[in-house]
Amino acid sequence: MNLPPDQMALGRRTFLKALAGTPALGLLGAAAAMKGPVPGGPVRLGFIGVGGQGRALLNNTDPAFAEVRAICDINPDQLKRADEVLMKRQFPKPQHYVEWRDMLEKEDLEGVVIAVPLWMHADVTVGCLEAGKHVLCEKMMAHDFEGCERMTRAAERSGRLLEIGYQRRYNGVYQAAYEGIVAKGLLGDVYHVRMVWHRNGNWRRTGEPPTPDYNPSKWGYPTFEHLLNWRLYWKYSQGLFAELASHQLNAANWFLGSAPVAVTATGGVQRFKDGREVPDHIYAMWEYPGGRTVTYSSVESCAFENRYEMFFGTKATLVVRNEVEALLFEEGNGERPSGVEITERGSAAAADASETRPGNTAGESRGTTAQPSTDSTRPAASRQEISRFCAAVRVHTPLACGPEQAMHSAKACIRGNESIGRKTRLEI
């Protein structure tokens, strides 16, 4: 994956020449950025779940687009940390709630941002939609097929917006790669995609309860350990498929303009035999219409390749690495392919570090989002996530990832775990 300097330089020149005079070139500057203030004034928002990912979204909320009226979490320590985030940004202190239904009843909200553990996505989202609120729910869409369907039906019945927060959809590198390369047909026909997300570290978190007598059992967690490490238990989580693979598969569906029809997967708890239930290593092959295949691996024993999506086309190969750079290698009659690059270092492409730091050894898939860029031409993906949702509420701009697109990646990942358990190929 490492190229010599002369290839990198050639790639930059070739890429810029290829994009000259096309709309995609503009994406390298502004990355389709939403700029405030939004017509009609900021959207009145409440946040349900202000752990790592919830705070990352709070930290990237643009006051020109959103007014944070209230925050809700069953852990008082998370509420305190959220207040600290808002205080640093000189936001007014919001109202605090432990029960999300109380927040909906007492606050005059237009929209709700949901970043609770996966198993609660469907119940909380449906409740908010039925209360007449627009909803931005973090990925993955739901814990099971039935939850995805419930959320979709609730959005249809309520007439409210439902957006699922896949950060690659708001990332300028992906936007530029799609608009400037994929949509223009520069890859030719793509029959194979390879995706990896490799880390070397334990996904398990450590921490103390907010008080010695804190008891989360009323919310479905028999111990604080189950609340702290919910990602490691099947009741609450779909493991690496939900927290990591669904991000990349959602991007593959976007770039391929399709969804998988079957999956064959394997994996298990191969390194960290510490009582966790979900695998720490997974490997999958998704089949798409037209003879196309996507292969995937996520391991917690070696970070060598880190993470990337690689699209092999008959005319060129596109690689998006670590969510901050994209490379294009043209096919060349058996000769070494020429390379072109989109990178946040080599251009003004918008990007942030997403929900997982490169080489993250802590294994936390939420809550490590980088600070937003100070360059107004490079808005963070998290900032765009909130701003675009608010713009959709106010002026009806299109959603980046509505229920249909999100459901395809969720169901494919749920089936991946089922394939591991049943040791067989499964249709989706």
Confidence (pLDDT) at 324? 84
Q: Per DSSP, what are the bridge partners of residue 95?
A: 70
**pLDDT at residue 15, as a whole number:** 56
Q: Give a yes or no: residue 138 inside a domain.
A: yes
Q: Tokens for 273, please give them.
A: 């035999």
Same domain, yes or no: 27 and 53: no
Residues 156 and 251 in one domain: no
Higher pLDDT, 67 or 352: 67
List CB contacts of 142: < 8 A, sequence separation 6 or more.
Answer: 118, 121, 122, 125, 148, 150, 151, 410
Is residue 396 a part of any domain in this protein?
no
Residue 128 falls inside a structural domain = yes
Domain count, the chain: 2
Does 273 share its domain with 193? Answer: yes
Average pLDDT over residues 13-40: 55
Q: What is the mean pLDDT of residues 179-205?
A: 94
Q: Are residues 252 and 356 in the same domain?
A: yes
Domain end call among 146, 168, 190 = 168
Structural domain for 147, as ranges: 43-168
pLDDT given at position 315: 94
Round to whole Å and give the CA distance between 212 and 221.
16
Mean pLDDT of 345-352: 28
The widest CA-to-CA distance across the chain, in whole angstroms, is: 69
Please state, as a whole number, how many other Cβ atoms lie within 10 Å of the Cβ of residue 295.
Answer: 15
**Phi and psi, residue 373, nearest 5°:** -65, 145
pLDDT above 90 (res 150): yes
Could you read off the pLDDT of 289-325 as tens digits, one per residue? Answer: 999 999 999 999 999 999 999 999 999 989 998 998 8
Q: Is residue 321 part of a domain?
A: yes
Q: Examine the fold and report which residue of 168, 199, 216 is the final residue of a domain before the chain moves on.
A: 168
For 217-243, what is each residue's pLDDT tens digit? 999 999 999 999 999 999 999 999 999
Decide if 52 contacts 58 (C-beta within 8 A): no
Q: Please indicate, yes or no, if residue 24 is contained in any of the structural domains.
A: yes
Q: Both 207 and 231 in a single domain?
A: yes
For residue 426, the cross-strand partners are 263
Q: What is the CA radius of gyration of the chain?
A: 21
Question: d(Cα 169, Cα 42) in Å, to the nearest integer?
Answer: 22
Whether residue 84 is found in the same domain as residue 20: no
Q: Are strands 262-268 and 281-288 parallel, antiparallel or unpaired?
A: antiparallel
Answer whether residue 371 is part of any domain.
Answer: yes
Helices (H), 20-144: 23-30, 52-59, 76-88, 100-106, 121-130
Pair (300, 334) in one structural domain: yes
What is d(CA 227, CA 224) in angstroms, rounded to the nearest whole number?
5
pLDDT of amino acid 16 = 57
The number of beta carbons lying within 10 Å of the beta carbon of residue 362 is 16
10-14, 52-56, 150-154, 273-277: range with lowest mean pLDDT: 10-14
* Contacts for 228 with CB less than 8 Å, ≥ 6 apart: 205, 206, 207
Q: Percentage of the chain surpassing pLDDT 90? A: 73
**CATH number of the CATH domain containing 361:** 3.30.360.10
Q: Does one domain contain both 201 and 317?
A: yes
Measure Cα distances from 132 to 52, 99, 106, 403, 405 in Å: 27, 18, 14, 17, 22
Residues in CB range of 245: below 8 A, 6 or more apart: 195, 197, 282, 284, 296, 298, 413, 416
Peptide bond just before 37 cis, omega within 30 deg: yes
Domain shared by 143 and 249, yes or no:
no
- Residue 151: inside a domain, yes or no? yes
Query: In the listed set 117, 146, 168, which residue is the last one of a domain according to the structure?
Result: 168
Report the CATH number at residue 155.
Answer: 3.40.50.720
* pLDDT 10s digits, 375-392: 332 347 889 999 999 999
pLDDT tier for residue 410 given thresholds of 50, 70 and 90: very high
pLDDT mean over 110-128: 98
250 and 157 share one domain: no
For residues 19 and 133, membership in a common domain is answered with no
Regarding whether 15 and 57 lie in a shared domain, the answer is no
Q: pLDDT per residue over 195-211, tens digit each?
A: 999 999 999 999 999 99
Would you say residue 334 lies in a domain?
A: yes
Burial of 414 (0-12, 13-18, 19+ CB in 10 A): buried
